[in-house]
Amino acid sequence: MRQILRLTVNGEAAESLVAPHQSLADFLREDLGLTGTKHGCDLGDCGACTVLVDGEPRLSCITLALECEGREVTTIEGVARDGRVHPVQEAFDRCVAAQCGYCTPGLVLSCVALLRDNPSPSEAQIRAGLSGNICRCTGYTKIMDAVREAAVELAGQAPSPAEGSRRD
């Protein structure tokens, strides 16, 4: 039986009737039309479906939408600030860190969370922070470049509310 789900998506309150077996990815894509979140493996392996829930990366393909009651979800559509794409997105663009682009929304969100928690990560810390997101095209080199550039860029700026608050 469908149940009422209340949550915040990209800063806006949302209320919807959802079926218990709807994953968060299905809900975002089909009910809210936020198709930036991708279905890759659909089994928790690849990270293409990564979104932020209360600021933390989460695999939306293996999360029930109803488990997000009262939470704050940020998708790739919600990371832009003041009408400008996020510095992480800009860095991905500049460094040509996307080829087919399928992994990119998930990677950008993992990267946003990584740089929020650790503004100047080491090489090993970047690798660990992105280890849940598989890219089959780039070979990761340009993604690494983009993260390093974004870190430098963000170091000069104040944090934005779009990156989500952490609720531990």
Going from the C-alpha of 43 to that of each of 23, 25, 39, 60, 102, the distances in angstroms are 11, 12, 9, 10, 16
The stretch among 6-14, 33-41, 66-74, 156-164 that binds ligand FES (CB under 6 A) is 33-41
Residue 48 as a binder of ligand FES (CB under 6 A): the answer is yes
Task: CB nearer to ligand FAD: give 18 or 49.
Answer: 49
Beta carbon nearer to another protein, 157 or 165: 165
The 10 Å CB-count burial string (b at 16+, else e) for 5-26 is bebbbbeeeeebebeeebbbbb
* Contact range with another protein by CB under 8 A, out of 45-53, 85-93, 96-104, 143-151: 45-53
- If the CB atoms of residues 21 and 84 are measured against another protein, the closer one turns out to be 21
138 is a contact residue toward ligand FES (CB under 6 A): yes
Q: Which does 23 bind (CB under 5 to 8 A by kind): ligand FAD, ligand FES, another protein, none?
A: another protein
Count of residues that bind ligand FES according to CB under 6 A? 22
Contact by Cβ (8 Å): 163, 74: yes
Q: What is the DSSP string of 18-56?
A: E-TT-BHHHIIIIIS--TTSPPSSSSSSS-TTEEEETTE
Considering only 30, 45, 67, 69, the residue that binds ligand FAD (CB under 6 A) is 45
SS3 84: strand
Q: Report the first-to-last Cα separation within the chain, whole angstroms.
A: 31
Give the residues lining the site for ligand FAD (CB under 6 A): 44-45
